[in-house]
Structure 1
C-alpha cells in the first residue's frame, strides 16, 4: 500500500504537522490524483478541533475537501479521465449510488455517503478517509470533476465547497435575472454568492455589519450595500427582496432579514450557527415567506457549477500559502483575516 505525504492533526489541541498516510492502489473504478491546490474551509478548522458534536473527529485527521489536481493513474474501467487531466474533488468521495437520493443526483443526502475526510473508509485503507492536505488522493471516478482549462487552479479549489454551496440554492430558486437578491455576509461563502448572483443577472445587494466592506462588495459585482446594523437603512428595504442567501455562521437575528423578503420570497441558510435561531412565526406567515437550508450540491450540479464558472470566468479570490503556514492560516481564519479564502500550494509539501 503506497504512502502519501500529508499534514494531519493527532488531537483536538495539536497543530497540523507533517505525516505519512496510506493511500490505496486504484481499483478499476478509481482515479489517482496528484494534488496541486487545496482550499482551506472553515469546516476544516471545526473538524480538526473537534468542535462539531454531531460529527466527532477521529484522529489522526487529515482535512481538506477543496481539491484540484492532476490525474496520474486510472483504473481499467475508467474512460472519462486519463493521465494528465486536471480535475477536482469536493466534499464527497463515495456514496451507495443506488438509493433514491443518488438516483436523483443528490449524493450529498445519501445515507451512505462518504465525505472526503473523517468518514469511515469502506476500502479499509485507514479507519477514516483522509483529505486533501496531502500529496495525492484516490477517488471513485463518479466523484471526480472536470476543471475548465481557462481558470486559475488556485482559485478553482474553493469552488469545490464554497462555490457549490452558494451556487446550488441560487440555481435551484429559479431564474434570478432582474430579481433582487441579497447576500448576508462577505466572507468565503458570501463573496462567491455575490459573484454568482451578478453572473445570473440579479440586482445584487450585500448585507453586512461592516461599513468598510462596501468598496470590496461593489468590486465583486454587488449593485448596492446595506449596513444591516442600521435599522433605518434596513427599514427602507422592507418587503423588497425576492431571494436572500445567508452565509453567516455567527449568531444573528434572522427575523430582521426575513422582514426584507417580498411575498413568497425565500431566505436560504448556508452558514451554520452553533446555536438555534429564534424565528418569528408571524414573520413567515405575513408574506407567505420561506426559510430554507442547503447543503453543498450533487456531483452533476457541481460539474454544472464548474462549467458555469468556466463560461463566466469565475474563481474564488484566494491568498495562496505553503502548507507550512496552515496553522497560522487557521488563526487568521478565526479573525476573518483573509480575502476571501486560503488556497494551499501543495508543491510546498514536497519539501516537508
Structure 2
C-alpha cells in the first residue's frame, strides 16, 4: 500500500474541489480502511463546501456516499474483514457518553442531530472523496455482489433517505404515493414506491421530466396540488426537493388522514395550511436515515434490478468539474466520482 493517496480537499467556503496528495489514513481500534472506488456527491456536500453548513474548520474532505472494499481492519473488528465490499455512510458512530446516547437509540440521522459529539463521515471527520478512508466498522454496510460501486454510492445516502422515508410513512397496501420533485432523491423515490407495490404519482413542474418519470415507474405525472387532487389525490406525499415552498401547494392534493414526509433539506421556511392540517388530520413527518436495516433493504432493491440510479460518472481528476456541475444542477441526477 502506498503511503500517499489522492484526495479531494476544499480549502475554504465556496472553494474548488482540489485533488491533492495526502497521507493514507491510519487504522485505529474498531476501524476499517476502505479503498474507495466511487463516491457520489450529495447536496449536503455542496452545502458543507460552500459554508452553508459548518461543523469543522476548513480544509475539509467531503463525502458520505462512498463505496469500495475493505483493505485493512483495526484491533477489535469482528464484523468486517479484508475483501468485504462496503458502503460508507454519514453517521459513523455516536459518542456513547452523552444523555442522548445513554437513552440507547439505534444509529440513525437523529443521532447526528442529537448526540453531543457524533463522528460523521465527511462532516466532522474526513470523508469518502479520496482513494482511502478510515472509518469505524459500524459506519459501513455490506454491499450485495450484484451492485456496482457506481450504483451503490448514491444509495448510501439518497436511496437510504427515500426508502427510509417511505417506510416511516407506513402506507397501507394499495396506497397512492405522490413524489414531489424528480431529482437526485425523487427519481429514486418513484422507483422505490413502485417496486414496493404502490400507485405512484410524480409531481413536477418540469415538462421535460414527464416522460422520464413514467419510464421510472410513475403511473401518473401531475404539475401541482390541484392536478394531484383531480387525479385522485395521494395518501402519502414524499417531498424530496430542496424547496419547502412547494409543500403547501402539493398538500392540496393530499387525501384526508394523509401523510407528508419531508426529506429534502432546504433553507427556506416551511409554511403549512393550518386549517387543512387540522380538519383533514394530516401528519407531517421529518425523515432521514432511519436505522441501518432500511439501508440494507434499499440496496437489495438495486441488487434485484428493481431500482437504478441515474448517474453521471467523473474520474477523480475531474472532481472540480463534477462539483461545479452538481452545484449548478446540471447533473441528471447523481454525480459519482470514481477513485
Compute the TM-score of the two structures, normalised by the length of structure 2: 0.90
Bigger drift between 106-115 and 193-202 goes to 106-115
Contact 1:7/1:18 (8 A) holds in 2: yes
Residues 307 and 63 (structure 1), Cα distance of their counterparts in 2 relative to 1, 3 Å cut: same
Q: Give the aligned partner of residue 70 of structure 1.
A: 69
SS in 2 for 1:31: strand
1:339 is aligned to 2:332: yes
Alignment of 1:189-228 (within 5 A): 189-228=185-224
Q: Alpha carbon RMSD of aligned pairs, Å?
A: 2.2
Residues 106 and 263 (structure 1), Cα distance of their counterparts in 2 relative to 1, 3 Å cut: farther
Contact 2:91/2:118 (8 A) holds in 1: yes
Bigger drift between 190-199 and 173-182 goes to 173-182
Contact 1:96/1:102 (8 A) holds in 2: no
- What's the CA shift for 1:235? 4.6
Contact 2:36/2:132 (8 A) holds in 1: yes
Q: Give the aligned partner of residue 270 of structure 1.
A: 263
1:299 is aligned to 2:300: no
Per-residue CA deviations over 1:257-277 (Å, capped at 9, x if unaligned) read: 222112211011111221212
SS in 1 for 2:245: coil
Residues 38 and 46 (structure 1), Cα distance of their counterparts in 2 relative to 1, 3 Å cut: same
Q: 97, 119, 137: which is aligned to 2:133? A: 137
Counterparts of 2:306 and 2:102, CA distance in 1 = 31
Per-residue CA deviations over 1:16-72 (Å, capped at 9, x if unaligned) read: 1122345543233111110000001121111101023xx355211111110101110
Counterparts of 1:69 and 1:187, CA distance in 2 = 25
Contact 1:207/1:226 (8 A) holds in 2: yes
SS in 1 for 2:194: helix
Alignment of 1:116-135 (within 5 A): 116-119=121-124, 129-135=125-131
Residues 23 and 118 (structure 1), Cα distance of their counterparts in 2 relative to 1, 3 Å cut: farther
Contact 2:226/2:253 (8 A) holds in 1: no
- What's the CA shift for 1:298? 2.6
SS in 1 for 2:92: strand
Contact 2:168/2:287 (8 A) holds in 1: no
Residues 5 and 101 (structure 1), Cα distance of their counterparts in 2 relative to 1, 3 Å cut: farther
Contact 1:50/1:56 (8 A) holds in 2: no
Q: Give the aligned partner of residue 107 of structure 1.
A: 108
Compute the TM-score of the two structures, normalised by the length of structure 1: 0.87
- What's the CA shift for 1:6? 0.5
Q: Give the aligned partner of residue 10 of structure 1.
A: 11
Q: How many residues align?
A: 332
Counterparts of 1:179 and 1:282, CA distance in 2 = 24
Per-residue CA deviations over 1:63-103 (Å, capped at 9, x if unaligned) read: 11101011101124222222111111111222135755883
1:290 is aligned to 2:283: yes
1:38 is aligned to 2:34: no
Gaps in structure 1 of 5+ consecutive residues = 120-128, 347-352
Counterparts of 2:227 and 2:27, CA distance in 1 = 57
Per-residue CA deviations over 1:257-308 (Å, capped at 9, x if unaligned) read: 2221122110111112212122121120121001121122333332333234
Q: 316, 321, 327: which is aligned to 2:320? A: 327
Bigger drift between 110-119 and 159-168 goes to 110-119
Counterparts of 2:55 and 2:176, CA distance in 1 = 39
Counterparts of 2:39 and 2:283, CA distance in 1 = 35
SS in 2 for 1:215: helix
Bigger drift between 162-171 and 315-324 goes to 315-324
Contact 1:48/1:57 (8 A) holds in 2: no
